Structure 1
Amino acid sequence: MSHLTSGTASVQGANLSGVTEFILVGFSTFPHLQMTFFLLFLLLHLLTLLGNLLIVATVCSERGLHSPMYLLLCALSASEVLYTLAITPRMLADLLSTHRSISFSACASQMFFSFTFGFTHSFLLTVMGYDRYVAICHPLRYNVLMSTRGCARLVAWSWVGGLVMGLVVTLAVFHLTFCGPSMIHHFFCHVPPLLKLACGDHVSTVATAVGLVCISALLGCCLLILLSYAFIVAAILRIPSAEGRRKAFSTCASHLTVVAVHYGFASVIYLKPKGPRSLEGDSLMGVSYTVLTPFLSPIIFSLRNQELKHAMKKAFLSKLYPETM
């Protein structure tokens, strides 16, 4: 974190235009919907936090869930909580305010944390795919390949990878010179609208480099997950009984659904064609990835995982309504 602070400070001091703050346009282009957006996003944010924290609390409190699959789910939920906290509270405050300025260093920090937790989430989804591959394709070696120590190492490397991605992207963008105007056409400090405000000879180079790094990392994770499921499907099809195939696939269904939602919305944001009217729609489209995806993830994992649902009832509902359990 000290690297980020010193880096942004040096950039701020060297910025030729003297830009000290930006204006987040956000949803100000929809003035009559500000309160509606606030109430909707606040509700989704609170439910997102509740769902993910409930998963973390359940996994931590139930010893029967202290397995690699649920420890990875716990880490995934934690990254989801931190990702939403990096973006949503600021967005909610701006919906109630007419002064939407954000300081240069705060903007850099928000970009750093959003990219760190966002890429950590992608890396953890990839590790979860590997976990399901080992469980189904190499069940006899599962305890060796996915030991508690090995699982902790994979989680740690996922967080390190997210940290590196956050630093690389943030330092690359904020080493540019910003000449104004200072209006960011988004509800948080996102790379594309920020690059539109930069000037100098290296803007196109940085834009291309950052785009290649981000897309390569996301596509790399996606391809590894698809490769894992290619082997998983092949192994499941070799199971002789229909019931055995159903049970094997049920252990992957929630993860596969979350992966589809995660990369489906990500592709809408990062791979959509750029049109002349894209600025007005960018904020609304960004909601799908920054608000809706984190909201759906705990619901998908909770509804499609019978063991997790049972553990939640045992851990929490039995304490509230002991006579019904």
Structure 2
Amino acid sequence: MDPGNYTGISEFQLLGFSEEPELQPLIFGLFLSMYLITAFGNLLIILAVSSDSHLHTPMYFFLANLSFVDICFTSTTVPKMLWNIQTQSKVITYAGCITQMYFFVLFTGLDIFLLTVMAYDHFVAICHPLHYTVIMNPWLCGLLALVSWILSVLYSLLHTSMVLRLSFCTEVEIPHFFCEVSQILQLACSDTFLNNMVIYFAATFLAVGSFIGILYSYSKIISSICEISSAQGKYKAFSTCVSHLSVVSLFYCTVLGVYLSSAAPQSSHASAVASVMYTVVMPMLNPFIYSLRNRDIKEALMRFSGLTALKGSIVL
């Protein structure tokens, strides 16, 4: 180990997007707006699903879980960035960086698992409609959600434990707005070959495995839809999958964009900008995608808003 190595490092510097002072208010306002829209939109989905008995079905159970994860996912990175801009500080402690990385990986894994489970739910609903309530019973739904949490926790612990074994140099500047795993590995003074191998294999297994599961589900869904005789039946069956298919396509396209940008020579700034798509923009768009194209959600939101207004008038 080099003499300049420092294993007891206490803090990192998050450089963010720009160091120009005149751009800081614009970045702060933009990300604050996106964060509030994300939290408010996903919270509305959760409240609508929980308050409306018509939405107490497996599909909306997983949608409410996805909305909760999206709120937590965005809350892992954006508030710290906003705080640093407001206080004109770039510091994040070593413990805070490891904690942020742990929860970021945890909620990323949960996003992937929940999208895969939701694809399976659509597969059962369209390909086995007569047995849907028997197969997707509350016990199985709870088990699928629990397994998603357990696998995500283990996946995140793997990433965190691999980083904790590293020692870091005196260079502690992270060219990102949060503690991203690949950026932290670049700051390490010790050998990161084992880290890279384990992380890449685990990430590939998670992403490719879930993507294959989603592709298999939709291949069966498409074949079942093609067997429906009436055009109205085909449209009704396909319309139930449009929202989920849009979210899946957007998620994997943005993740692929981040991967390609990180492989480019100008990786630091390009990777930070591309990461905004799946860390901030994606969770913000999910409520709009599911509510605008879903009549049940729109009706539940209208009933919920009417019920809230009624309660308010009674209290007054």
Q: Compute the TM-score of the two structures, normalised by the length of structure 1.
A: 0.91
User: Cα deviations across residues 89-143 of structure 1 (Å, max 9, x unaligned)?
Assistant: 0111122232211111111100001111111111000000000000000111111
1:147 corresponds to 2:134: no
Structure 2 counterpart SS, 1:116: helix
Contact 2:6 2:170 in 1 (8 A): no
Work out the CA distance in 2 between the residues paired with 1:105 and 1:234. Answer: 50
Structure 1: gaps (5+ residues): 1-14
User: For residue 7 of structure 1, what is the aligned residue in structure 2?
Assistant: none
Written as runs of structure 1 = structure 2, the 5 A alignment for 1:61-100 is 61-100=51-90
How big is the shift at 1:290? 0.7
Output the CA distance in 1 between the equivalents of 2:85 and 2:282: 20
Q: Aligned with 2:30: secondary structure?
A: helix
C-alpha RMSD over aligned residues: 1.6
Match of 2:27 among 27, 37, 55: 37
Q: Which residue of 1 aligns with 2:248?
A: 259
- Correspondences of 1:299-314 after superposition (within 5 Å): 299-314=288-303
Give the secondary structure class of the aligned counterpart of 1:72.
helix
Kindly, what percent of the aligned residue pairs are identical? 40
Unmatched runs of 5 consecutive residues or more in structure 2: 312-316
SS class of match (2:16):
coil
C-alpha distance in 1, partners of 2:111/2:121? Answer: 15
Query: Does structure 2 conserve the Cα–Cα contact (< 8 Å) formed by 1:123 and 1:221?
Result: yes
Matched with 2:50 is: 60
Residue 318 of structure 1: how far off its partner (Å): 5.2
Counterparts in 2 of 1:31 and 1:220: CA distance versus 1, 3 Å? farther
Give the distance between the partners of 1:168 and 1:190, measured in 2 at CA: 15
Tell me which moved more, 161-170 or 310-319. Answer: 310-319
What residue number does 2:238 align with?
249
**What residue number does 2:112 align with?**
122
* Per-residue Cα deviation, 1:22-60 (whole angstroms, up to 9, x for no partner): 111112344432111110111110010001000000110
User: 1:259-278 to 2 correspondence within 5 Å?
Assistant: 259-272=248-261, 274-278=263-267
Aligned length: 307
| Bigger relative contact order (CA 8 A; separation at least 6) | 2
Q: Are 1:156 and 2:146 an aligned pair?
A: yes
Kept after mapping to 2: 8 A contact 1:27/1:95: no
Corresponding residue of 1:11: none
Q: Distance in 2 between matches of 1:97 and 1:279?
A: 24
Tell me whether 1:182 sits opposite 2:165 in the alignment.
Answer: no
For 1:159 and 1:98, locate their aligned partners in 2 and report how far apart those are by CA, in whole Å: 36
- Residue 296 of structure 1 is matched in structure 2 by 285
Q: Say which SS state the counterpart of residue 34 (structure 1) adopts.
A: helix
- Contact conserved, 1:120 with 1:162, CA < 8 A, in 2? yes
- Asked if the contact 1:22–1:104 (Cα under 8 Å) also holds between the matched residues in 2, the reply is yes
d(CA) in 2 for partners of 1:298 and 1:313? 15
Secondary structure of 1:26 counterpart: coil
Residues of 1 paired with 2:241 and 2:94: CA distance? Answer: 43
Q: Does 1:194 align with 2:187?
A: no
- Letter of the structure 2 residue corresponding to residue 303 of structure 1: L
User: Partners of 2:147 and 2:183 in 1: how far apart?
Assistant: 30
Give, in whole Å, the separation in 2 of the partners of 1:263 and 1:136. Answer: 23
Whole-angstrom CA distance in 1 between matches of 2:97 and 2:277: 21
Q: Which residue is 1:237 aligned to? A: 226
- What's the secondary structure of 1:179's corresponding residue? coil
Alignment-mate amino acid for residue 263 of structure 1: Y
Cα separation, 2, equivalents of 1:304 and 1:105: 42
**What one-letter code is carried by the residue in structure 2 that aligns with 1:315?**
F
**Pairwise CA distance, 1:80:** 0.7
TM-score by length of 2: 0.93
Deviation at 1:223, TM superposition (A): 1.3
Q: Which moved more, 1:79-88 or 1:21-30?
A: 21-30
Return the match for 1:18 from 8, 14, 22.
Answer: 8
